[in-house]
Amino acid sequence: MESRQTTVSLRVRGYHLDGYGHVNNARYLEFLEEGRWAFFDERPALAGVVQRRGVAFVAVNLNIDYRRAAGAGEDLEVVTGLAELGTRSARMHQDIRRARDGKLVASADVTFVLLDVRANKAVAIEGELRDALSPLVVAQ
């Protein structure tokens, strides 16, 4: 059985840093985005359902807690999982941890809807979309 979570490793580069030598707060959003892309890339069956239905995952809310600073050369891991599945939206939980000791650097909850690309409006999460997403929910 496949894991319900995805882990992506990345290294902090100089261009990620702010004037204080820490990862700039906006860069964490990019790290989180990388984790979400990997989550969906690892699930080609889900991608097939999304493509057939003509929908796209669209973030509508993001809450992030910054726990500790990360600096140049540090290796980080972004752990992504589907935390909640509603009828019209869903929530992904993500943690960014230092690879060397597992300490939490940041955590985030991203709420998304499924957008009908042609109609440009959110659609209910039902049928084969719900069937594809339901087994991926991680109990918290």
Active-site annotation, residues: 18
57 class by beta-carbon count within 10 Å (0-12 exposed, 13-18 middle, 19+ buried):
middle
DSSP state of 1: -
Task: Please give the Cα distance from 67 to 101 (Å, whole number).
Answer: 14
Task: Please give the Cα distance from 5 to 94 (Å, whole number).
Answer: 9
